[in-house]
Amino acid sequence: MAGAWTEIGSVDGTAYGVYLKVANKSLVWYNDDLFAETGAVPPETWEDFVGLSEDLADVGIPPLSIAGADGWVLTDWFENVYLQTAGPEMYDKLAAHEIPWTDPSVEVALETLAEVWGQEQLMLGGGDGSLQTDFPTSVVNVYSDDPDAAMVVGADFIGGVVTASTNADVGGVAQVFPFPHVGGEGEAVVVAGDAAVAMTDGEATMELLRFLATEEAAREWAAIGGFVSPNRNLTADDYADPVLGQVAEQIVLAGDSVRFDLSDLQPAAFGATVGDGMWQTLQDFLADPSDVEGTMERLEDEAARAHGE
């Protein structure tokens, strides 16, 4: 496990928990049938991603389905772009509100986002239609029997929605590629996860935690499925599901460049409230992606208030 994970499980340098089950939030899910039909290949860089989206729009397939009605979907977009354009150190500073949201790095990230959000034909239903789409619907739009869009950006748990709500199968029609690289920052992954936390330091407790963190325990669970481990000794082959193997590999490759979901690190008023804070401001930004300046100011206002400054 990379050192970044120990840090996420620690408070003021004391380790309290072991991250053993993690979620990869830096993925783009695509409909392989539509990709095959158009000859599209998964892009690696942001330029390729935008280019591919434009090509798909040219052949009459709306490239992206975005669940703009759910603010957290938009914060995930932002976090991925920001982590890539500004790098992990700046990401930590912004998460702790050590730099303001009016920082130039935020402007770069928002302008990068606007390259996609500003082009109506790249989003199913345009910006307004996206704002009416909730998360499960956005997934169904891509994987229904008569798909309306080719890609949906989101975490590995989209696989669960695909299995539950559509006839598509994960690994077949439903495939993933890593969130495209923006600039030359290399692998970086936005994550979330479940930690095993010790409430006492009894011998048995410690032994259990130690075991859960081992390669042996992780391999056991990975073979069953529905599980992604941050353990770097596991390879894609250890996973029952090839898509999850790919997802896990991406996390391990990112090493110390994994960062916990930024909005989840904010006070709830700013990072996790319907109609407020980051959620609402990014929704407003999706409705009008030309207003980078105003968006930054509003984000800073609300962040300052929520952080009690």
Partner 1 sequence: MTAPRETPAWRRLFGPATLFLLPALLFLGVFLAYPALYSVVRSLFDASGSQFVGLGNYTRMFTDDRTLVAIRNTGIWVLVAPALVTGLGLVFAVLTERVRWATAFRVLLFMPMAISLFASGIIFRLVYDENPDRGVVNAAVVTVHDVFASPSEYPGARPRGDELAEDTALGGFTTTRAYTVGEAAALPLVGIRPSEMPEQAAPAAVPDAAEGTIEGVVWLDIALGGEPGTVDDGENGMPRMTIEALKDGQVAATTTSGDDGRFTLTGLDQGEYEIHLTADNFTAPFRGLTWLGPTLVTPVIISSWVWIMTGFAITFIAAGLAAIPRDALEAARVDGATEWQVFRKITIPLLGPLLLVVFVTLMINVLKIFDLVFVIAPGSVQADASVVALRMWQVSFGAGGNQGLGSALVVLLLVLVLPIMYFNIRRFRRERS
Give the binding site for partner 1 (CB under 8 A).
38-39, 57-61, 68-71, 121, 125, 128-129, 131-132, 134, 267-270, 273-277, 279-280, 283, 306, 308
Q: Compute CA distances 225 → 100, 233, 240, 248, 283, whole Å.
A: 41, 17, 6, 12, 35
Q: Measured between alpha carbons, how far is 5 from 7 in angstroms, rounded to an integer?
A: 5
Return the half-sphere exposure (C-beta side, CA atoms, 13 A cut-off) of residue 10. Answer: 9
> Which residue type sits at 107?
E
Minimum CB separation of residue 280 from partner 1 in Å reads 6
Minimum CB separation of residue 306 from partner 1 in Å reads 6
Minimum CB separation of residue 218 from partner 1 in Å reads 36
Q: Which is nearer to partner 1, 246 or 266 (CB)?
A: 266
Q: Which is nearer to partner 1, 102 or 137 (CB)?
A: 137
Q: Which is nearer to partner 1, 255 or 267 (CB)?
A: 267
Minimum CB separation of residue 60 from partner 1 in Å reads 3
Q: Which is nearer to partner 1, 76 or 241 (CB)?
A: 76
The dihedrals phi and psi of 203, each to the nearest 5 degrees, come to: -65, -45
Q: Which is nearer to partner 1, 132 or 167 (CB)?
A: 132
Q: Which is nearer to partner 1, 46 or 279 (CB)?
A: 279
Q: Which is nearer to partner 1, 50 or 191 (CB)?
A: 50
Q: Which is nearer to partner 1, 228 or 306 (CB)?
A: 306
Minimum CB separation of residue 66 from partner 1 in Å reads 11
Among candidate residues 293, 284, 296, the one with its CA nearest the CA of residue 130:
284
On whether the CB atoms of residues 296 and 110 are closer than 8 A, the answer is yes
Minimum CB separation of residue 257 from partner 1 in Å reads 30
Neighbours of 212 (CB within 10 A): 15
Among candidate residues 305, 293, 304, 298, the one with its CA nearest the CA of residue 110:
293
Sheet hosting strand 27-31, strand order edge to edge: 151-154, 27-31, 174-178
